[in-house]
Amino acid sequence: TPTVGVLALQGDVREHVAALEAGGARATTVRRPAELAEVDGLVLPGGESTTIDRLLRVFELREPLRERIAQGLPVYGSCAGMILLADRLLDGGKDQQTLGGLDITVRRNAFGRQVDSWEEDLPLAGITDGGPDVDAVFIRAPWVEEAGPEVEVVGRLSADAAGGRAAGRIVAVRQGALLATSFHPEITGDDRVHRHFVAMVRQRL
């Protein structure tokens, strides 16, 4: 059984711990470099990416985490976690940095003020194949504005998403050992995205 950590500086940590356990992993929380060293994979939860970015530096986790990502650590980022994994960020906070790893440009709070949250049933390539769509819940979510050639598009919004404002936007991606979604599968009781990530972690053991 792989050990998968959840970065526990801020955000919806408990929901991810529960979803990982349901998805077949042993889940732990990560706040210190020594805890990071123990995990086979890591989840970056939803929350506030500017705060998590700041705390990563305060807790001296930023550099060790960048190093492990460069070495191929499987990481799944949800919402704020997707922002942290993006190589390029639009509408970031003042002095906000990302960890990077995914060759994507992400727009933070992309749906805009009028459409703070959005929910849509989505098929996800390699995850929902042959089964029902996932109930994708977006909360002040980012979207992927641009994806490089090595990035697999796992999920996209429909043509009428957010009244057309978010038509066809990419909201789930994978590149190598990195997976990211703009939405929050951990709050819907559907563990298929986490199960898929745990399988990615197993493959790298």
Closest CA to 173 of 108, 120, 132, 127: 127
Q: Which residue type is seen at 90? A: L
Structure tokens at 47: 């929350």
Q: Can you tell me the distance from the alpha carbon of 205 to that of 200, in angstroms, rounded to the nearest whole number?
A: 9
Is residue 170 annotated as involved in ligand binding? no
Q: How far is the CB of 48 from ligand GLN (least distance, A)?
A: 5
Toward ligand GLN, which CB reaches closer, 2 or 59?
Answer: 59
Toward ligand GLN, which CB reaches closer, 28 or 109?
Answer: 109
Q: How far is the CB of 13 from ligand GLN (least distance, A)?
A: 12
Q: How far is the CB of 45 from ligand GLN (least distance, A)?
A: 8
- Active-site residue, selected from the candidate residues 15, 16, 186, 196: 186
- Active-site residue, selected from the candidate residues 15, 16, 120, 184: 184
Structure tokens at 70: 């460069």
- Active-site residue, selected from the candidate residues 15, 79, 120, 196: 79
* Residues forming the site for ligand GLN (CB under 6 A): 46-49, 79-80, 83, 108-109, 139-140
C-alpha dist (Å) from residue 177 to 54, 116, 189: 24, 30, 24
CB 44 within 8 A of CB 52: yes
Q: How far is the CB of 116 from ligand GLN (least distance, A)?
A: 10
Is residue 57 annotated as involved in ligand binding? no
C-alpha dist (Å) from residue 39 to 176, 204, 205: 18, 12, 11
Q: Is 184 a catalytic residue?
A: yes
CA gyration radius, the chain? 15
Toward ligand GLN, which CB reaches closer, 2 or 142?
Answer: 142
Is residue 49 annotated as involved in ligand binding? yes
Q: Can you tell me the distance from the alpha carbon of 149 to that of 134, in angstroms, rounded to the nearest whole number?
A: 25
Toward ligand GLN, which CB reaches closer, 12 or 40?
Answer: 12
Is residue 139 annotated as involved in ligand binding? yes
Which residues are marked as active site? 79, 184, 186
Show binding-site residues for L-glutamine: 47-49, 108, 139-140
